[in-house]
Amino acid sequence: MHERTVGVGAPTRRNTRIAERLKECRGAFVAVGIFSAAINVLMLTGSLFMLQVYDRVLPSHSVPTLVTLFAVVVLLYAALGLLDMIRARMLVRIGHALDEEMSGDAFRAVVQAPLHAKVGADGLQPLRDLDQIRSFLSSAGPSAILDLPWMPFYLLLCFAFHWWIGVTATAGALILIATALLTELLVRRATRTITADAAARLMLAQASRRNAEALTVMGMVNPVGAQWQAANQRYMHGHRCGSDIAVTLGAFSRVLRMLLQSAVLAVGALLVIRQEATAGVIIASSILTSRALAPVELVIAHWKSFVAARQSGRRLSELLSKLDAGAVPLALPAPTRTLDVELISVRPPGRATNVVQGVRFTLKAGQALGVIGPSASGKSSLARALVGAWPTVAGKVRLDGAALEQWPAEARGRHIGYLPQDVELLDGTVGDNIARFEQNSDAAAVIAAARAAGVHEMVLALPHGYETRIGEAGQALSAGQRQRIALARALYRDPFLVVLDEPNSNLDADGERALTAAIAGIRTRGGVVVVIAHRPSALMAVDRVAAMAKGEIHAFGERDDVLRQVLRPAAGSRINAASEPRLATP
């Protein structure tokens, strides 16, 4: 199961459907099926042994015959145990192979789904779905399903012993099959509800953990805790109902199987009394009946996990199909000339209303654009569209004439630097974060990016320099330090397009000077910069300004000309960084 290499003129779509991926394991499944056949044949050992003991050994009082039969039974049971072990280990490896093939796709879904569509309550659901599928494949459930086709074989043997023994075993089998169908109907809906409730309570718990300080300081722990308790009670109620269904039907199937064994014994005894069967038939038929119905009982016991795995497979396949980009784009040369924004319209994923409408401008190498405007004017949405985080619903964003979607995702990422409004760093070292966790990263490029962002000296002052671990979400750093390191990450390997969203929101005076120098450095080396700003000091190094309101650009041109129109109070023709006048709505 490997992804095919795509050449020019041979576009392909990576297969992300779980069922198709499992078909690629058909050879392993065939082997498991063969082992299942051998196991089910060897399962006859006990009944045949009892038949021989009662019908041959006891009447003849032959100890050598008993010893020989027992020696054969030992060998057959040893072979049965070995084959059963191999089958179970093969199923575990099939589950692991599927996980290895799909884990990258599932992680991609976790990362990309929020950018393309409205996601459910649990953003980690794709990974949980894959875990559910792997767990089911590694359980006894698949073995029970593979044993089900052998039920008619055992029932035919029961008929071979006597007609009424076969009828009794078949009647019990039909009742168990009806129980399995009832389990399917009852468990399917309960499992779907449990999944939704589990995701809701997990989302609330994760949000509470992220906002632990605010909840504690403002006395919100108990109110939010009450919400979590309500969500947890809904989950526990659904889990209890689903478990009750599975446990009840499972207990019923076990009792029915034991009752059926006794019924077969009674029928066999009656046949012996009437001299229509031998004593060995009583025990042998009881064992055969138990074996014929055992797979149904196991299937009922594992039906809940089977339904959950089936729903997980369908849900994960549908999500990956939506995210599948189709043909892999041809690698393009690095952009060096222009950024063209062609009448783009943008709407948040899962929303029906555009928040950016008909935006159009062109920037050449060495130019920097500042985007200003009131809150909710569409500035951050425009930034996300420029870097390809959100797709446009109309228009195109082009680098050197090529639309963003024409670039392979990883290649495009090397030519784009992005500092989001909400800075997030990953657990790792400072150097790892600046290098974007690139494998075998270039130390010289890391230091160059830190110098370009003006953070080299700051990093050296940390306890372990570039090897300082910053903790989850950068907890070991201040907000200003996180923002400056994120700026260095955006500048790693000198990307052509750099988009900075509120890059000075947590910076002091030294940080703002470093930011201005970084923007000037990008322009000097021939890059393009777009700065989203509320504070004019972030625009010291830009030469163009666009003023946005209600998702549209209302003014665009030279920096001082546009700012003269929108600054309140008017501060002359130049930016006065010390006075920090407020940017007003155009």
Pairwise CA distance, residues 416 & 499, whole Å:
8
Same domain for 202 and 247: yes
Greater pLDDT, 154 or 555? 555
Same domain for 292 and 358: no
| 341 phi, psi to nearest 5 deg | -115, 115
257 Cα distance to chain centroid? 40
Predicted confidence at residue 572, as pLDDT, reads: 42
pLDDT in tens, 427-445: 889 999 999 998 888 899 9
Same domain for 342 and 314: no
* Mean of all residue pLDDT scores within the chain: 83
Q: For residue 345, what is the domain's CATH number?
A: 3.40.50.300
Pairwise CA distance, residues 111 & 420, whole Å:
15
β-strands 338-346, 497-501: how paired? unpaired
Identify whether 580 is part of a domain: no
> Which of 7-21, 145-159, 293-307, 392-406 shows the lowest per-residue confidence on average (mean pLDDT)?
7-21
Pairwise CA distance, residues 417 & 559, whole Å:
23
The H or E element containing residue 558 is strand 552-558
pTM of the model: 0.68
Greater pLDDT, 1 or 364? 364
pLDDT in tens, 248-267: 877 887 788 788 878 888 88
Confidence band (pLDDT; 50, 70, 90) for 580?
A: very low
In this structure, the number of other CB atoms found within 10 A of the CB of residue 293 comes to: 26
Our count of domains for the chain comes to 2
Listed residues 320, 350, 383: the one ending a domain? 320
Angle of helix 63-116 relative to helix 26-42, nearest 10 degrees, comes to: 150
Confidence band (pLDDT; 50, 70, 90) for 324?
A: low
In this structure, the number of other CB atoms found within 10 A of the CB of residue 213 comes to: 8
Contacts (Cβ under 8 Å, ≥6 apart) of 172: 256, 257, 260, 263, 289, 293
Per-residue pLDDT for 2 more than 80?
A: no
Identify whether 493 is part of a domain: yes
Position 138, amino acid? S
Per-residue pLDDT for 552 more than 90?
A: yes
Question: For residues 380 and 421, is the Cβ–Cβ distance under 8 A?
Answer: yes
| Percent of the residues in the chain that have a pLDDT greater than 90, as a whole number | 32
Identify whether 333 is part of a domain: no
Predicted confidence at residue 546, as pLDDT, reads: 95
CA angle, 226 then 229 then 231, to 5°: 110
Per-residue pLDDT for 73 more than 50?
A: yes
**For 391-480, where are the E strands, in sequence order?**
392-399, 402-403, 416-419
CA-based torsion, 70, 75, 76, 82: positive or negative: positive
Q: Can you tell me which residue has the tokens 């069967």?
A: 277
Same domain for 39 and 165: yes
Find the mean pLDDT for residues 302-327. Answer: 76
Same domain for 346 and 313: no
Find the mean pLDDT for residues 376-380. Answer: 92
- 3-state class of 453 per DSSP? coil
Question: For residues 31 and 91, is the Cβ–Cβ distance under 8 A?
Answer: no
Same domain for 288 and 387: no
Greater pLDDT, 181 or 453? 453
Confidence band (pLDDT; 50, 70, 90) for 1?
A: very low
Predicted confidence at residue 578, as pLDDT, reads: 37
Same domain for 149 and 21: yes
User: Cα separations (Å) of 97 from 107, 298, 324?
Assistant: 16, 25, 21
Same domain for 370 and 473: yes
Structure tokens, 307: 């339904």
Listed residues 288, 320, 352: the one ending a domain? 320
Identify whether 330 is part of a domain: no
Identify whether 576 is part of a domain: no
Per-residue pLDDT for 493 more than 90?
A: yes
Q: For residue 267, what is the domain's CATH number?
A: 1.20.1560.10
In this structure, the number of other CB atoms found within 10 A of the CB of residue 257 comes to: 20
Predicted confidence at residue 116, as pLDDT, reads: 65
> Which of 15-24, 155-164, 177-186, 239-248 shows the lowest per-residue confidence on average (mean pLDDT)?
15-24
Question: For residues 282 and 269, is the Cβ–Cβ distance under 8 A?
Answer: yes
CA angle, 530 then 531 then 532, to 5°: 120
Provide the β-strand partners of residue 394: 345
Q: What is the 3-state secondary structure (H, E, C) of 213-239?
A: HHHHHCCCHHHHHHHHHHHHHHHHHHH
> Which of 122-126, 157-161, 350-354, 407-411 shows the lowest per-residue confidence on average (mean pLDDT)?
122-126
Structure tokens, 362: 């062109």
- Residue 556 region by backbone torsions, left for phi larger than 0, else alpha for psi between -120 and 50, else beta: beta
Per-residue pLDDT for 55 more than 90?
A: no
Question: For residues 194 and 246, is the Cβ–Cβ distance under 8 A?
Answer: no
Same domain for 424 and 536: yes
CA-based torsion, 246, 249, 252, 257: positive or negative: negative
Predicted confidence at residue 3, as pLDDT, reads: 38
Find the mean pLDDT for residues 76-99. Answer: 90
Identify whether 44 is part of a domain: yes
DSSP character string of 143-207: HHHHHGGGHHHHHHHHHHH-HHHHHHHHHHHHHHHHHHHHHHHHHHHHHHHHHHHHHHHHHHHHH
CA angle, 105 then 111 then 113, to 5°: 85
| 421 phi, psi to nearest 5 deg | -65, -45
Predicted confidence at residue 328, as pLDDT, reads: 64
Predicted confidence at residue 197, as pLDDT, reads: 81
Per-residue pLDDT for 120 more than 60?
A: no
What's the domain range around 164? 16-212+227-320
Predicted confidence at residue 574, as pLDDT, reads: 43
pLDDT in tens, 162-199: 888 888 888 888 887 888 777 777 777 777 777 778 77
Q: Strand 528-532's sheet: what is its strand order?
A: 416-419, 497-501, 528-532, 368-372, 544-549, 552-558
Listed residues 320, 352, 373: the one ending a domain? 320
Identify whether 10 is part of a domain: no
> Which of 50-64, 236-250, 423-437, 455-469 shows the lowest per-residue confidence on average (mean pLDDT)?
236-250
Per-residue pLDDT for 14 more than 70?
A: no
Predicted confidence at residue 489, as pLDDT, reads: 94
Q: Strand 338-346's sheet: what is its strand order?
A: 356-364, 338-346, 392-399, 402-403
Same domain for 237 and 367: no
- 378 CB-side CA count, 13 A: 23
Identify whether 6 is part of a domain: no
Per-residue pLDDT for 474 more than 70?
A: no
Confidence band (pLDDT; 50, 70, 90) for 573?
A: very low
Same domain for 345 and 315: no
Predicted confidence at residue 563, as pLDDT, reads: 86
Structure tokens, 291: 């074996």
> Which of 14-28, 257-271, 291-305 shows the lowest per-residue confidence on average (mean pLDDT)?
14-28
378 closest CA partner among 351, 407, 413: 351
CA angle, 300 then 303 then 309, to 5°: 165
Same domain for 415 and 465: yes
Question: For residues 176 and 192, is the Cβ–Cβ distance under 8 A?
Answer: no
